[in-house]
Structure 1
């Protein structure tokens, strides 16, 4: 399996010869409701759009997961699997094949990859978006992805999981509270799933931010802190810290720190 982090919450997963693009924001700016005075994020340079994509996987319908300018640029013949709200975005942009996954439902990609939807991020008081468990049907290799750090106890029955992608730090706004839950949440899912590796998401290395919200946002914790937390709880899990564009090979057993693999 290969994983390429494309910064923020965007990932390219290569599993069993299938190329899955997860929550892509690759071009143009990111705003919410075109309120760039409130929040605006920009890549230092646009990401190269990956070729030969077999599936686009959307966990949410918000712009930082179902980014309209990026989805407009991608080939609309690529199949899309998405949460109900993500599916509405893709359908509105004219994608030819859009599959909506509700919690507990699954999708089989080309008889090779199973994708199962679980409850994920809470958006407002009533809306709960998706997290995903992906499984290579040939090898049994599994990967879990949730971009805001809200994890369903339903996952416990699928442990152990090989790789977990989730936030590892907290992001907090005054009066609203934690909008990204890392730290204790990441520890909890680590205890449930006992992965061999975890990778942080929802952070950024090649992105600049503007707007009122960015001045109020408070980040708590670090990858170093999380590694210590795992050690304190006797969890032997490797926390990988890729740079945007790094293509990591993961197999069933780690061979070296520079070349992580399972």
Structure 2
């Protein structure tokens, strides 16, 4: 397994001999409803679109997960696995192979990979987007991704999971509080899933944030503090600190099967 962090929520995941482009924002600015005065994110350097992508995986339909300008640059014949909300975006853009997963659904990608949708981030009162579990069939190695730190207790039945990609710090707004949950939520899901490796996401390493909303956002916690929480709770998972465009090999060990 290899992970390449392309900043913000965007990852290239190489698993089961497949290249999965996850929540891509690679070109152009990022705004919501074209309200740049309210929120705008821009890259210091645009990312090259990875070659030989086998699948696009979209957890949400919001622009920071299903970035329209980026999706317009990609081959519309690449298969897409998407949440219900993200399906609307890629349908309008003319993608030809769309697999919509609701919570509990599993998609088998050839004979090498299974993708299961689990409850993820709530968007308003009526919509809950997707988190994903990816399982490599040959080895049994698995990966869990949820970009806002909303982890369903239903995940417990999938334990152990080898790799977790999720926020490790909180992002908060005055009065409203946190809208991205790391810290305690990341610790909780780590206790549930017993991963070998934990990887932070949604950190915007090489991104400049502008606008009214961006100026009010506060970061609470650090990756170092999260590592200390793991140590306090006697959790031995390795915490990685990926740099943008760094292709990281993930070295995993086969777990012993306990026989009662």
TM-score bracket for this pair, using the shorter chain length: over 0.9
Quote the residue 2:163 is aligned against: 163
Is 1:216 the equivalent of 2:226?
A: no
Quote the residue 1:202 is aligned against: 202
Runs of 5+ unmatched residues, structure 2: 255-260
Query: Which whole-Å deviations, capped at 9, do the CAs of 1:158-181 have from their partners, x for residues lacking one?
Result: 101000000000001123321100
Quote the residue 1:150 is aligned against: 150
Query: Which whole-Å deviations, capped at 9, do the CAs of 1:219-246 have from their partners, x for residues lacking one?
Result: 1000000000010111111110010011
SS at match of 1:134: strand
* 1:1-262 equivalences in 2 (<5 Å): 1-253=1-253
Query: Which whole-Å deviations, capped at 9, do the CAs of 1:77-105 have from their partners, x for residues lacking one?
Result: 00000000011101110001111100000
CA–CA separation in structure 1 for the residues paired with 2:186 and 2:153: 13
Displacement after TM superposition at 1:37 (Å): 0.1
Displacement after TM superposition at 1:140 (Å): 0.2
Displacement after TM superposition at 1:110 (Å): 1.6
SS at match of 2:129: strand
CA–CA separation in structure 2 for the residues paired with 1:176 and 1:132: 27
SS at match of 1:129: strand
**Could you tell me the TM-score, scaled by structure 2's length?**
0.96
CA–CA separation in structure 2 for the residues paired with 1:92 and 1:173: 33
**Count of paired positions:** 254
**Could you tell me the TM-score, scaled by structure 1's length?**
0.95
Quote the residue 2:258 is aligned against: none
Quote the residue 1:260 is aligned against: none
CA–CA separation in structure 2 for the residues paired with 1:77 and 1:87: 14
Displacement after TM superposition at 1:214 (Å): 1.1
Displacement after TM superposition at 1:17 (Å): 1.1
CA–CA separation in structure 1 for the residues paired with 2:176 and 2:23: 24
Query: In angstroms, what is the RMSD of aligned CA positions?
Result: 1.0
CA–CA separation in structure 2 for the residues paired with 1:121 and 1:109: 24
Displacement after TM superposition at 1:141 (Å): 0.7
Displacement after TM superposition at 1:39 (Å): 0.3
SS at match of 1:64: coil
